[in-house]
């Protein structure tokens, strides 16, 4: 288990107060706070080591290039990818999925081809496929969740048909905390010759990830949820899929040679990294992932499982609270509504007055909201630095909300 007090000391923002109360930050599903080592690395990179990468021959450019390219190997180790060349740097999961949509799917799909999705998906794993529906006539096939918010792997597999070209599925729901058996889905899809994209935005945060064991073709991650800077991220792309892709953005670094008549492209992964990248953001991401690996993702998972079980126990006593999604192996993410007049925004506002940061809204998952029959929920999402005492503070705040609105 983690030494939670030592971990909390690594995050400067946790020492501050909000509205005169100690900050209780429970909005980690949207974006996590940053440890001092990441903040220091970003400051150092801008203050003492900054230059553009790849193109320069001077000392600072070589240093920045070394720091930046070193992150590729860190991401490879974090995801247990087979090669650094299977790691494409991005600004986050959204860019990674759009890269797959434009660079791999668009030149290969035609009208009537199918993409299998679940109603759990974040908009980042929905909208790019709607682009293909609008522009190519691709068909989106949806798989519903069960009564406890669980997603049956066999239901996803059964949705795969002769025209299915891709299964794009989340590893972990950002709304319900539902964990999906993506390994079983990917194995079955591969046997049927169907590609798989696993959205790792949440899954990579809460437990160890091994993309080779999962068996997916594409696995995007986003840095700001992994305790790194916003604007950082990457996507794992299996080498055989890399060979099938065309670049979807053009510019510097992704080319070998440009003339008036022709352009030749660089080899992957550089082929898909056009222009000056987020140099400092990626350096910060590398430090964040090393921080997580030093803690041990197994230890992070154990700590968050304890928080999940304790939260379930405390919330179970609030019979006027409606928890959305109760699958047994869910992560420490809780979305809820409240009986009475309290809207999700009301709950969030009252909790904020107590220094408690939660999320209110549709959480970029409107198909799931429609399936649940609600317009919005309030969400408390836990991270590696949260404590049982903060769960107690949340419960106290919810009881206040009930007294005010119930």
Which tokens hold the place of 65? Answer: 């290039």
Q: Which helix (H) or strand (E) holds 100?
A: helix 93-100
186 is annotated as an active-site residue: no
Nearest partner of 282 among 336, 349, 222, judged by Cα: 222
Rg (CA), the chain: 22
Contact 75, 60 (CB under 8 A): no
For every residue of 236-277, DSSP letters joined together read EE-HHHHTT---SS-STTSEEEE-SS-EEEPPTTGGG--SS-
Nearest partner of 54 among 43, 44, 46, 62, judged by Cα: 62
How far is Cα 283 from Cα 70, in angstroms, rounded to an integer? 8
Catalytic residue among 186, 216, 364, 378: 364
Contact 78, 290 (CB under 8 A): no
How far is Cα 65 from Cα 45, in angstroms, rounded to an integer? 11
Which tokens hold the place of 4? Answer: 């939670």
Strand bridging mode 114-118 / 164-170: parallel
Catalytic residues: 364
């Amino acid at each position: 288990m983690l030494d939670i007090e030592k971990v909390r000391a690594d995050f400067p923002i946790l020492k501050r107060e909000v509205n005169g109360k100690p900050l209780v930050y429970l909005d980690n599903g949207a974006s996590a706070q940053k440890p001092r080592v990441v903040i220091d690395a970003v400051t150092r990179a801008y203050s003492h080591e900054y230059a553009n990468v790849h193109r320069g021959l001077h000392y600072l450019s070589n240093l920045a290039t070394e720091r930046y390219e070193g992150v590729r190997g860190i991401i490879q180790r974090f995801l247990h990818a087979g090669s650094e060349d299977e790691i494409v740097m991005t600004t986050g999961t959204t860019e990674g999925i759009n890269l797959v949509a434009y660079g791999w799917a668009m030149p290969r799909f035609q009208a009537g081809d199918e993409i299998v999705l679940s109603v759990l998906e974040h908009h980042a794993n929905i909208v790019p496929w709607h682009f293909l529906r609008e522009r190519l006539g691709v068909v989106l096939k949806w798989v519903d969740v069960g009564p406890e918010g669980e997603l049956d792997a066999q239901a996803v597999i059964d949705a795969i048909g002769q025209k299915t070209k891709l299964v794009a599925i989340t590893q972990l729901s950002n709304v319900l905390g539902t964990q999906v058996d993506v390994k079983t889905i990917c194995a079955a899809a591969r046997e049927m010759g169907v590609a798989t994209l696993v959205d790792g935005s949440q899954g990579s945060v809460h437990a160890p990830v091994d993309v080779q064991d999962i068996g997916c073709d594409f696995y995007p991650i986003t840095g700001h949820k992994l305790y790194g800077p916003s604007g950082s991220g990457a996507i794992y792309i299996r080498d055989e899929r890399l060979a099938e892709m065309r670049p979807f953005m053009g510019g510097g670094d992704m080319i070998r040679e440009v003339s008036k008549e022709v352009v030749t492209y660089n080899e992957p992964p550089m082929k898909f990294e056009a222009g000056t990248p987020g140099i400092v953001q990626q350096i910060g991401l590398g430090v964040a992932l090393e921080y997580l690996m030093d803690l041990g993702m197994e230890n992070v998972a154990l700590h968050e499982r304890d928080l999940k079980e304790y939260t379930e126990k405390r919330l179970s006593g609030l019979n006027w609270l409606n928890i959305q999604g109760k699958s047994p192996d869910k992560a420490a993410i809780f979305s809820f509504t409240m009986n009475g007049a309290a809207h999700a925004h009301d709950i969030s506002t009252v909790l904020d007055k107590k220094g408690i940061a939660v999320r209110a809204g549709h959480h970029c998952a409107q198909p799931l909201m429609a399936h649940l029959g609600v317009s919005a929920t309030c969400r408390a999402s836990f991270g590696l630095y949260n404590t049982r005492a903060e769960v107690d503070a949340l419960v106290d705040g919810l009881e206040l909300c009930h007294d005010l609105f119930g």
